[in-house]
Amino acid sequence: MDEAVNNLTSTEPGKPDTAPDPARRKILVAATGIAGGAALTAASIPFIASMTPSERARAAGAPVSADTIGLEPGTQLTVEWRGVPVWILRRTEAMLKVLDDPRHLAKLADPGSDVKNQQPTYARNAYRSVNPEYLVVVGICTHLGCVPTSRPDVSPADIGADWDGGYFCPCHGSKFDLAGRVWRNVPAPTNLVIPAHHYVSETKIVIGRDTEGAAS
Ligand code: FES
């Protein structure tokens, strides 16, 4: 089984995990408090530079695993997979309630995840996940590849009164909800990508494989 990627870094709520230019992006593994609490603090580490050759080979395509032990409701962690950040958000009951609210769904361009190849078939549901409590999503904007900002706060002044919490891309203003679904009338054309993933235990998630046998 592949090792979980464990480096911790700090991310301030309301700020991007990394710089928007993919070439300069430092892929980091983070545990981020996003429910209005203080950000966790630790040293940032350039991910690729810190890798051994075997680790770099694994990052090129092999699955990675993550453990959600200790992940509190309303917080998320980030793992690096195939050179991109994958967020694992543990959603609260309030967050889940919004996701199938008709008033919220009316704001979205693809509420039913009808666009193909943006998610595995098992994630074509209201929560875009295997387990509704956890969102597993690639943290790359589908417009031009920036890293959106976690904004779970409802109706913030800088985004708008109609904001229900989600991910905001400051590059050109694209908006995604807490299932990674894109809003109408924003530059991003599609929902965020849900990677192939499965659970090997209640808390351990393997990203990059649908099951123990099939790589994706
Ligand atoms: S890259 Fe996200 S809105 Fe342009």
Does 83 reside within a domain? yes
Residue 213 Cα to ligand 1 midpoint, Å, equals 35
Query: Does the residue 183 lie in any domain?
Result: yes
* pLDDT value at residue 125: 95
Tokens representing 126 are 């209201």
Q: Is residue 66 part of a domain?
A: yes
Q: Determine, yes or no, domain membership for 71.
A: yes
Tens digit of pLDDT for each residue in 53-111?
Answer: 556 655 567 999 999 999 999 999 999 999 999 999 999 999 999 999 999 999 999 99
The CB of 146 under 6 Å from ligand 1? The reply is yes
Domain harbouring 34, CATH code: 2.102.10.10
Residue 198 known to be catalytic: no
pLDDT digits (tens, 9 = 90+) for 120-143: 999 999 999 999 999 999 999 999
Residue 172 Cβ contacting ligand 1 at under 6 Å: yes
Q: Tokens in use for 35?
A: 């429910």
- Residue 18, pLDDT > 50, answer no
Helix (H) or strand (E) holding 32: strand 30-33
Atom of ligand 1 nearest to the CA of 187: 3
| Residues of the domain holding 58 | 22-207
Q: Which residue has the tokens 């351990």?
A: 204
Q: What sign does the dihedral 59-130-178-119 (CA atoms) show?
A: positive
Number of domains in the chain: 1
Strand locations in 46-162, DSSP E?
64-67, 75-81, 84-90, 134-138, 149-151
The first and second tokens of residue 119, run together, are 């998610």
Identify whether 214 is part of a domain.
Answer: no
pTM of the model: 0.76
Please choose, from the candidates 14, 135, 124, the residue with its C-alpha nearest in 3D space to the C-alpha of residue 71: 135
* 124 located within any domain: yes
Distance CA 121, CA 142 (A): 19
Percentage of the chain exceeding pLDDT 70 = 70
151 bridge partner residues? 166
Classify residue 2: in a domain, yes or no: no
Nearest residue (by CA) to ligand 1, atom 4, is: 172
DSSP 123: G
Please state the separation of Cα 96 from the chain's center in Å. 15
Question: Which residue shows structure tokens 């295997």?
Answer: 130
Q: Residue 3: inside a domain, yes or no?
A: no
Q: How far is residue 171 from each of residues 15, 38, 80, 143, 151, measured CA to CA in Å?
A: 12, 24, 21, 9, 15
59 lines ligand 1 (CB under 6 A): no
Burial grade of 41 (CB within 10 A; 0-12, 13-18, 19 or more): exposed
